[in-house]
Amino acid sequence: MADALRADGARVSWVGGERAEARLVPEAGYELHPIRVEGFSRSNPLQAARAVARAGGAVAAARRILRNLRPDVVLGGGGYVAGPVGAAALAMRIPVVLTEADSHLGLTNRLLAPRAARVCLAFPIDGRTGERYVLTGRPVPPPASDRDAARTRFGLEDWQTCVLVFGGSQGARSINDAAVAGLRDGAFSVLHAAGTRDYDVLRARLGNAGSYDLRPYIDAFGEALAACDLCVARAGGSIFEVAAAGKPAILVPYPFATADHQTTNARWMADGGAAAIVPDAELTPQRLRAEVDALLGDRDRLRTMGDAARALARPDAAARIAAEVRAAASQL
pLDDT, tens digit, 9 for 90 and up, residues 234-277: 999 889 999 999 999 999 999 988 889 999 999 999 999 999 99
Residue 39: per-residue pLDDT: 63
Q: What proportion of the chain, given as a percentage, has pLDDT over 90?
A: 76
In 11-140, where do the E strands start and end? 13-16, 31-34, 74-76, 96-100, 118-121, 133-135
pLDDT given at position 229 = 98
154 and 237 both lie in a single domain: yes
- pLDDT tens by residue, 58-74: 899 999 999 999 999 99
- In terms of domains, do 151 and 71 share one? no
Rounded to an integer, the average pLDDT of 295-301 is 97
The reply to whether 102 and 199 lie within a common domain is: no
Among candidate residues 268, 178, 313, 272, the one with its CA nearest the CA of residue 232 = 178
**306 and 324 belong to one structural domain:** no
Verify that 12 and 156 share a domain, yes or no: no
Residue 53 has pLDDT above 80, yes or no: no
Q: State whether the Cα torsion 177-265-110-259 is positive or negative.
A: negative
- Quickly state the pLDDT bin for 18 (edges 50, 70, 90): confident
Residue count of the chain, please give it.
Answer: 332
Residue 186 vs residues 27, 124, 179, 181, 182: alpha-carbon distances, Å:
38, 38, 11, 10, 8
Say if residues 128 and 307 touch (Cβ distance below 8 Å): no
Q: pLDDT per residue over 143-185, tens digit each? A: 999 999 999 999 999 999 999 999 865 569 999 999 999 999 9
- Percentage of the chain exceeding pLDDT 70: 93
Q: What is the mean pLDDT of residues 42-50?
A: 60
Residue 226 has pLDDT above 80, yes or no: yes
Q: What is the pLDDT of residue 51?
A: 60
Say yes or no to pLDDT of 48 above 60: no
Return the pLDDT at 57: 80
Q: Is the pLDDT of residue 207 over 90?
A: no
Residue 224 has pLDDT above 70, yes or no: yes
Q: 28: domain range?
A: 2-138+315-329
Same domain, 159 and 303: yes
Please tell me whether residues 131 and 178 are part of one structural domain: no
What is the rounded CA–CA span in Å between residue 86 and residue 102?
Answer: 19
Query: Do 64 and 91 reside in the same domain of the chain?
Result: yes
Instruction: Give the H/E segment covering residue 214.
Output: strand 212-215
Smallest CA-to-CA distance from 82 within 105, 99, 103 is with 99
| One domain for residues 156 and 131 | no
Do 170 and 104 share a structural domain? Answer: no
CATH for 153: 3.40.50.2000
Statement: residue 104 has pLDDT above 90: no
pTM for this prediction: 0.85
pLDDT value, residue 22: 86
Q: Work out how many domains the chain is built from and give that number.
A: 2
pLDDT in tens, 183-205: 999 999 999 999 989 999 999 99
